[in-house]
Copies of this chain bind each other. A is one copy, B any other.
């Protein structure tokens, strides 16, 4: 471990702890720590973060909530069969998967559950506090990586907000890696503000929107007039099925549109489709078609096709966020961490939607983390 990495023990409490992303987070952290794979995709392992005193990957301890009960080692084998994890990896990191599996507690509410919101929050918060105490953690970060919920309607707290409230009650920083409501619920606003805890979100930027946030600024900087930006996403896995629900897709697409509106300064024509194609499993294909005008109205077209593995794109960012948010907590920062907009489709706080500017803000933040007291 390099001198500038903090030796603090940090808990990673994953909402949706048995899902593809969570399983890849746990297996991947173990694989990189063991030297089985280079830290490809881990932004916080690049030189810009070398002196930020982030918690070491070796010191991360995993647990979480889930409503499913498939054991993590079995889930990892399924991911390896689908090409998401390398063959042989589940066996190689079996001990770490099993250890995390022991720290997963029942999520909720499932249909028929009669507990009140407050009872659920209390149970979830107790689970998290118990985890931190038993494992002797300096702090724990709660990260939502569960399937996308339908956009919230009415005033009832959706499950993602119950977990977010539990994080606050347990004194933990919170990261919403999904487009679900989480801390964005009006009923949680004052609680979040008074908690003194940092939080980040929402909706990890892993594919089509990542590209859009890199390409949108190019058109704007070159004064090219984007007329229509259309997109289709094909994906299987749980995400494909849940986003085939128009209500869930609506939440996701709001973030996608924000990137174009912000970087182009206008909302072009064009729709975004999310199709559930089970045979593709965790592999996502995103096709974008951009019709733009150049000088004297010349009609031009850019098309992009992105073929990525969603879990492999998301997992290292989850680890990055945990390290950054844990260190921010250690430094006493609180409230929405707008400087982490680089990681999100629909970032909290004020900030640019252009990837380059987001990266500049992130590396400046890395510098701020460097200084100051540490325990």
Contacts and interface: CB of A to CB of B under 8 A. Distances in A.
A294 interface: yes
Contacts of A308: 294, 298, 300
B269 A295 contact: no
Interface residues on A, range: 35 or more
Q: How many copies does the complex hold?
A: 4
A218 B87 CA distance: 28
A295 B312 contact: yes
Given A287-B287, A295-B316, A312-B294, A269 B277 contact: yes
B270 A273 contact: no
A292 to B, nearest CB: 9
A312 B298 contact: yes
Contacts of A41: 222-224, 294-295
Nearest to A342: B221
A40 interface: yes
B296 A355 contact: no
Interface in A270-290: 270-271, 273, 275, 277-280, 285, 287, 289
A277 B291 contact: yes
Contact of A228 (B280, B304, B312): B280
A84 B298 contact: yes
B354 A287 contact: no
A27 B225 CA distance: 20
A43 B296 contact: no
Nearest to A356: B356
A106 to B, nearest CB: 28
Contact of A296 (B85, B291, B295): B85
Given A210-B222, A296-B31, A355-B218, A230 B275 contact: yes
Nearest to A313: B294
A277 B230 contact: yes
A279 B295 contact: no
A214 B356 CA distance: 9
Nearest to A219: B214
B355 A227 contact: no
B302 A223 contact: no
Nearest 9 interchain pairs by C-beta: A356-B356, A298-B312, A41-B295, A227-B279, A214-B218, A294-B312, A232-B232, A301-B307, A295-B312
